[in-house]
Structure 1
């Protein structure tokens, strides 16, 4: 039995979720496990911000502002502002960078934060929650950073939209990718 392999193979994004969501105690437990990703120098270069209720509306307003559509296309701006309301819980994944670290460049710190996001999405899926990682063209806009109260050395990586799986939800069957086309071996040299 290979439970981690089975969990990874079974994971599917869930774009439509119900209003149920994990509580903070469950999130802390899952985040504690997700935080075990490879992390050079143990910097823990990440944090997660939970957005529930009206906090999602603040994000929507920031996305609309970032788009610049408020004056030219108010309907488009309103549609964009409603996107964070698609799930009862959004988990903003933030890279917390230590600039000019002597051993760990910023790209590696971002990679560790992205690893936490991916592992957290897998753990949430395995716990029975519907999850979808979303980004977009405004992810790193200053209005979005301000809405999340990000610090000077922090950068948004995206949001995990989390909620209950709808009744009758079934994971779609996907044709497995041929991983052999993605693996190469560097030949040894004498």
Structure 2
């Protein structure tokens, strides 16, 4: 088993995956673990929507509509939603709180999404996080049946890593540019 340190260094977005995806039961297990991220007041201001099979077309159609695409361009956009056998939509579901502002609740949902990508990586699945301006569109909101106040963060496209050896180490950042002292 790899360490958290190794997982963070090795994880990369996987634009190409096989048709094998985690089962519903496995997703429940992984989401339960991902849900252990730091969460001020334990609000759990997030939820995950599993999208499989033909339902993936709903995602593509909503993204095409949000982008104002028609005809061939819309079809091309819709096909992209079928690049992985499982899409995990991550939703911010803010809770009323005088102590925890919206931005902090959105950070918790983002933390859950990132933890989920690391857990999927550990299990041998590839994941690609897809976001964009369309996540906050009415078309996406309606297609995913979001409740009032909820916001889409994006989708984690998920499938098994193809069997292809490659160096999984990511390039290092210049840490001195990102860490300072006070």
- Matched residue, 1:86: 83
Whether 1:180 and 2:176 are equivalent positions in the alignment is: yes
Looking at structure 2, the residues matched to 16 and 64 of structure 1 have their Cα atoms a distance apart, in angstroms, of 21
Whether 1:137 and 2:137 are equivalent positions in the alignment is: no
Looking at structure 2, the residues matched to 178 and 127 of structure 1 have their Cα atoms a distance apart, in angstroms, of 29
- Matched residue, 1:170: 166
- Matched residue, 1:21: 21
Question: What is the CA-CA distance between 1:64 and the residue it aligns to?
Answer: 1.4
Looking at structure 2, the residues matched to 20 and 148 of structure 1 have their Cα atoms a distance apart, in angstroms, of 24
Question: What is the CA-CA distance between 1:28 and the residue it aligns to?
Answer: 0.9
Instruction: Pick closer, same or farther for the CA change 1:45–1:181 going to 2, 3 Å.
Output: same
Looking at structure 2, the residues matched to 45 and 38 of structure 1 have their Cα atoms a distance apart, in angstroms, of 12
Kindly report which structure 2 residues correspond to 1:1-190, keeping only aligned pairs within 5 A, or say none: 3-70=3-70, 74-99=71-96, 101-186=97-182
Aligned length: 182
Question: What is the CA-CA distance between 1:181 and the residue it aligns to?
Answer: 1.4
In the alignment, structure 2 segments of 5+ residues that lack a partner are none
In the alignment, structure 1 segments of 5+ residues that lack a partner are none
State the TM-score, normalized to the length of structure 1.
0.91
**Contact 1:21/1:163 (8 A) holds in 2:** yes
**Contact 1:130/1:165 (8 A) holds in 2:** yes
Q: Between Structure 1 and Structure 2, whose CA radius of gyration is higher?
A: 1
Runs of 4+, deviation exceeding 6 Å: none
Question: What is the CA-CA distance between 1:170 and the residue it aligns to?
Answer: 2.8
